[in-house]
Structure 1
Amino acid sequence: MNLEQLLIENPVIAAIRNDKDLEKVILSKVLIVFVLYGSIMNIKEICERLKEAGKIVFIHVDLIEGVKGDYAGLLFIKQCGDPYGIISTRPTNIKNGKKLGLSVIQRIFVLDSLSLETGIRNIQSILPDAVELLPGIASNIIKSMENEVRVPIIAGGLIQTKKDIMQAIGAGAMAISTSKQELWGLSEQ
Structure 2
Amino acid sequence: MHERLLEQPVIASVKDEAGLDAVVEAEPQIVFLLFGSILTLPDLVERLRAAGKTVLVNVDLVEGLVGRDIAVAFVAERTRADGVLSSKAAIVKAAKARGLLAVHRFFLVDSFSYHNVGKQLAISQPDYIEILPGCVPRVITWLRKDTEVPIIAGGLVCDKDDVLAALAAGAVAIASSNVDVWAM
TM-score tier after normalising by the smaller chain length: over 0.9
The unaligned stretches of length 5 or more in structure 2 are: none
Distance 1:73 1:153 in 2: 24
Q: How big is the shift at 1:120?
A: 2.4
CA RMSD of aligned residues (A): 1.0
Unaligned runs of 5+ in 1: none
Taking structure 2 as the reference length, the TM-score comes to 0.97
Partner Cα distance (2:88, 2:123) in 1:
13
Task: Give secondary structure in 1 for the equivalent of 2:60.
Answer: helix
Alignment of 1:19-98 (within 5 A): 19-98=17-96
For residues 133-172 of structure 1, what are the structure 2 equivalents within 5 Å?
A: 133-172=131-170
Partner of 2:14: 16
Q: Is the 8 A contact 1:4 1:152 kept in 2?
A: no
Q: Kindly provide the CA deviation profile for residues 87-135 of structure 1, in whole angstroms up to 9, marking residues without a partner as x.
A: 0000110111111110100000111111001012211442100000110
> In the TM superposition, what whole-angstrom CA distance separates every residue of 1:1-35 from its partner, at most 9, and x where no partner exists?
xx333322220000000001100000112100000
CA distance in 2, matches of 1:92, 1:121: 12
* In structure 1, C-alpha distance between the alignment counterparts of 2:76 and 2:99, rounded to whole Å: 9
In structure 1, C-alpha distance between the alignment counterparts of 2:70 and 2:138, rounded to whole Å: 38
TM-score of the aligned structures, taking structure 1 as reference length: 0.94
Overall identity of the aligned pairs, in %: 35
Q: Residues 121-160 of structure 1: CA distance to partner in whole angstroms, max 9, x if unpaired?
A: 2114421000001100110000000111111100000011
3-state SS of 2:180 partner: helix
